Every structure is written in structure tokens, then in C-alpha cells.
Amino acid sequence: MPAHSLHLLVIDDLQEEAELFRSAVEEVVPEVRLSSCTTAEQALALLAHDDDRPDLILLDVNLPGVSGLELLQRIKTDPALQCLPVIMMSTSSMPSQITACYRGYANAFLVKPPGFQPLMEAVEGLIRFWSNPALRLPPAAIHRRRSTPFS
């Protein structure tokens, strides 16, 4: 999938963090379409629309109310959503937090880099990696997976 067709969803309770990601994406890969939410509830409402699901989700571990880990679990146990790649992110690099994310079937973990330049580099690497067509399931495979319960 070329980068210009990638739809990225950033879920972070801190609006300024989401804006930093937006600025970084616009700076390094302006073709990427970016959506953002500040709560799990907003994200679930957005993800409920079959016709406009993101190709990649960046999910903050620390959300108010329903935590990022709880939202990850909801995504990965929903047959319609479980194939979406979810990258968990946090300012913390605590091994227990990272392990919990991978146990919840996160596709990757990103320690939020300090400063705009390192953030741009991280965003560029993520988008370059996840834009690779070899990492995308064909639509027919996704449709079949939606009818299969998560195991």
C-alpha cells in the first residue's frame, strides 16, 4: 500500500501530543491521512464505521477512563477490527508495560521520543514500515477474518 493511501489514527488523551504527531506526519509524509481521538469511546465510534477504518492505529497506553490496554483488548477481540495493526505508545519504557502491550497483541510499542526531530524520524520509520504492501492483508482475507472469532 503506497503511503499516500495510508490512513493513520492517533489515539492520545493529550491533544498537544496528537498535534505533534500531526505536524510530524505532515512534515515527513504529507500524503498520509491522519485522524485523531482523545478517548477510547471516540475511537470505538470511529472504528465502528466499516467504510472509513484506519490502516494503522497509534494508541497511547495512558488514556482516561477506558485505558489504552483495555481499548487494545477490545480491538483485538473484535473480529471486524482484530486485523488492524495497533502500535502502543507511551513516554515510559517500563518493561512490564511493554510486555503487557505485547501480551495484548499489540503489533509494536513506541516510546514517545523527546523532541520534534526524533518524533519526525520515528513517524517516518513507522509509516515507511507499515506502508509496505507485504504487511497488508488483502480485503478478501480481512473479510474472512471478520467472521472468525479471535483465539
pLDDT tens across 54-75, in order?
A: 999 999 999 999 999 999 999 9
Domains of the chain in start order, with CATH, are 3-142 (3.40.50.2300)
Handedness of CA 7, 56, 129, 131 (dihedral sign): negative
Which of the residues in the chain have pLDDT under 50?
1-4, 140-151
The pLDDT assigned to 135 comes to 62
Q: Which residues of 129-146 are buried (b: 16+ CB within 10 A; e: fewer)?
A: ebbeeeebeeeeeeeebe
Give the separation between CA 103 and CA 128, rounded to whole angstroms.
25
The pLDDT assigned to 15 comes to 85
Give the separation between CA 81 and CA 85, rounded to whole angstroms.
9
**End-to-end CA gap in the chain:** 27
The pLDDT assigned to 62 comes to 92
Handedness of CA 96, 101, 103, 107 (dihedral sign): negative
The pLDDT assigned to 29 comes to 84
CA distances from 83 to 30, 64, 95, 133 (A): 25, 25, 25, 15
